[in-house]
């Protein structure tokens, strides 16, 4: 400590620091490309979005009807977005959707991962590929595909119920829209999450299982008492992904929107933001909405990590 201080006050840089310079430059040279990309594609756009969100599209003189141009409006966009009921009800819908989709996705992913990891599992590669395959289908295509399967006159499920003399299943009506949308996410997301959990399971040393079996542990207990606690970090990671994914839901409801009157143009926050930015030609308003959504996502993620970390890795300080 004291040495540090004396060095710092020792005036002009000595030859020693000059000799050290190449060494201090190395990390920056190595970080350079990543930093450049980070600046160009994350930092600068974020700053620009913050700047944009303080502008507003206002009519100024010119043309037949006047022209809309960017002027500084301070926090007006934030005020308008935060007091807009439609924006908040979007978060309400996300909550319902998330409560259905996230636990089911993680639960099924864990289930499949445990089954695959089971010593007696057969055709492991094939099953893994089969469960993972839907993840490779782009969200929009998946939504269209399911959309056709939901619409009464093209749905194979409704075809069967009608053959049985019942009515078509109203997949896209009323509150059924939530499970129907969650199902699309489930179908696409389980495989990816399963893969993460399965990878985590494969990295558990087999000695642990041998020891457990020696102690008379059944396969059930092995799964519950040993495997699940050991993959908690993986569950946490997939949980976080799912949460962030939920807050960013856009493609599925947007694709299904033309098929049902249930999905409004501001059904989820991102659709609200899209409408501001592109339909209403008001990028500043969209920027404000995006900033609010980003801060919210960040806060929720942080909270989840704090809480979960304490529970998962409690005692490891």
Partner 1 sequence: MRRRFLARLGALTGVTALLASCGVGGGDDGVVTLDYWCWGETTKVEEFNATHTDIQINHTDAGGGNDSSIKLLTASRAGNAPDVSCVEYQTIPALVVSEALVEITDHAGDLPERFDPGTWQLTSFDGHVYGVPIDIGPMVFLYNRARFDELGLRVPTTWDEFADVAAEARERDPDTYVMTLPPDGFGGFAGLAQQAGGQWWEVEDGRWTVGIADETSLEVAAFWQDLLERDLVQGGPILTPEWNNKLNKGEILAWPTGVWGPGVIYGIAESQAGDWAIAPLPGWGEGESGAAVPFQGGSALTVTDDDKIEAAVEFISWMNTSEEACALQIAAGEYPASLSGQAMTAEQPPPPLAGEQEDYWEIANYAATNTLPNLQWGPNVNTAQSVFSDAVSPALRGQKSLVDALRETQRAVVDDMARDGFDITD
Residues that bind partner 1 (CB under 8 A): 41, 57-60, 63-68, 80, 147-148, 151-154, 173, 258-262, 264-266, 275, 278-281, 283
Cα radius of gyration rounded to whole Å, the chain: 27
Q: Distance (Å, rounded) from C-alpha 169 to C-alpha 163? A: 12
295: which 2 tokens? 């801060």
Alpha-carbon dihedral angle through residues 3, 9, 14, 18, given to the nearest 10 degrees: 80
Alpha carbon distance 227, 119 (integer Å): 13
| Nearest approach, Cβ of residue 136 and partner 1 (Å) | 21
Record the tokens describing residue 139, joined without a space. 């969200």
**In whole angstroms, what separates CA 10 from the centre of its chain?**
52
Question: In the complex with partner 1, which residue's Cβ is closer, 242 or 276?
Answer: 276
| 72 contacts 55 by C-beta, under 8 angstroms | yes
User: Which is closer to partner 1, CB of 7 or CB of 67?
Assistant: 67
Residue among 116 and 287 whose Cβ is closer to partner 1: 287
**Helix H segments across the chain?**
2-8, 15-38, 44-53, 76-82, 85-117, 124-132, 139-150, 156-163, 177-202, 206-214, 219-221, 228-230, 232-247, 251-256, 269-274, 283-312
Q: Which residue has the tokens 């109203």?
A: 170
Q: How far is the CB of 32 from partner 1 (least distance, A)?
A: 17
| Residue with Cβ nearer partner 1 (38 or 148) | 148
- For partner 1, the closer CB: 26 or 60: 60
CA 231 to chain centroid, in Å, comes to 20
State the nearest-atom distance from the C-beta of 282 to partner 1, in Å: 9
Q: How far is the CB of 292 from partner 1 (least distance, A)?
A: 18
Taking the complex as a whole, the smallest distance from the CB of residue 8 to partner 1 amounts, in Å, to 43
In the bound state with partner 1, the residue whose beta carbon lies nearer, of 88 and 148, is 148
- Least distance from partner 1 to the Cβ atom of residue 64, Å: 5
């Amino acid at each position: 400590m004291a040495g540090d201080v004396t060095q710092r006050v020792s005036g002009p840089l000595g030859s020693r620091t000059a000799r050290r310079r190449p060494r201090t430059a190395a990390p920056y040279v190595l970080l350079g490309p990543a930093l450049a990309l980070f600046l160009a594609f994350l930092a600068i756009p974020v700053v620009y979005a913050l700047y944009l969100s303080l502008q507003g599209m206002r009519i100024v003189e010119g043309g037949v009807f006047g022209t809309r141009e960017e002027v500084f409006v301070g926090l007006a966009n934030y005020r308008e977005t935060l007091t807009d009921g439609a924006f908040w009800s979007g978060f309400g819908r996300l909550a319902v959707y998330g409560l259905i989709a996230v636990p089911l996705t993680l639960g099924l992913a864990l289930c499949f991962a445990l089954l695959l990891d089971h010593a007696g599992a057969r055709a492991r590669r094939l099953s893994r590929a089969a469960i993972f395959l839907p993840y490779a289908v782009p969200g929009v295509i998946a939504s269209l595909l399911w959309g056709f399967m939901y619409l009464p006159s093209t749905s194979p499920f409704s075809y069967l119920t009608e053959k049985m003399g019942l009515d078509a299943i109203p997949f896209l009506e009323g509150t059924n829209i939530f499970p129907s949308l969650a199902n699309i996410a489930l179908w696409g997301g389980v495989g990816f999450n399963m893969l993460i959990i399965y990878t985590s399971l494969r990295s558990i040393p087999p000695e642990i299982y041998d020891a457990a079996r020696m102690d008379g542990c059944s396969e059930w207990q092995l799964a519950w008492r040993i495997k699940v606690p050991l993959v908690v970090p993986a569950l946490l990671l997939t949980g976080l992904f799912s949460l962030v994914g939920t807050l960013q839901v856009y493609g599925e409801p947007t694709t299904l929107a033309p098929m049902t009157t249930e999905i409004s143009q501001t059904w989820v926050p991102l659709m609200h933001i899209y409408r501001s930015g592109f339909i209403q030609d008001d990028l500043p308003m969209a920027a404000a909405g995006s900033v609010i959504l980003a801060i919210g996502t960040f806060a929720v993620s942080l909270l989840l990590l704090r809480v979960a970390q304490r529970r998962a890795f409690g005692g490891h300080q």
